[in-house]
Amino acid sequence: MAAGELTLGVLTPRVRGGILFHMGIFGREQAEPVQIQDKPLHCHVCDGTTFYTRRAVLPGAVATFFNLDWTAPSCTCVICSSCGYVHWFFPG
């Protein structure tokens, strides 16, 4: 393993500027600007303007116990391409 790399399972994310960085399966996804309520989103940490988008499932203890995680609510996460900060957005 080269300096500046951390192995997590089968993925080997890169460290860029001291920040753990790896998005997109096989590195194919591109970071894009995101708008929230017709306003451009800026990262709360570094003021970055491009993000990766992911869906996150929020399972509860009861749903997990009965193997019903697929019924759990989900939210949208946008991850800053510069610093990796995760912005969570719940439907509503």
> Locate tokens 């970071």: which residue?
31
**Average pLDDT over the chain, rounded to an integer:** 74
Q: How do residues 33-60 score in pLDDT, each as one tens digit?
A: 999 889 999 999 999 999 999 888 877 7
Candidates 1.10.3470, 1.10.10, 2.20.25, 2.40.128; CATH matching 25-89: 2.20.25
- Three-class SS state of 42: coil
**pLDDT confidence of residue 92:** 64
27 or 60, which is more confident?
Answer: 60
The answer to whether the beta carbons of residues 43 and 62 sit under 8 Å apart is no
Please tell me the distance from the alpha carbon of residue 69 to that of residue 71, in angstroms, as a whole number: 5
User: pLDDT value at position 17?
Assistant: 46
| Domains in the chain: boundaries | 25-89
Q: For residue 56, what pLDDT is reported?
A: 85
The reported pTM is 0.62
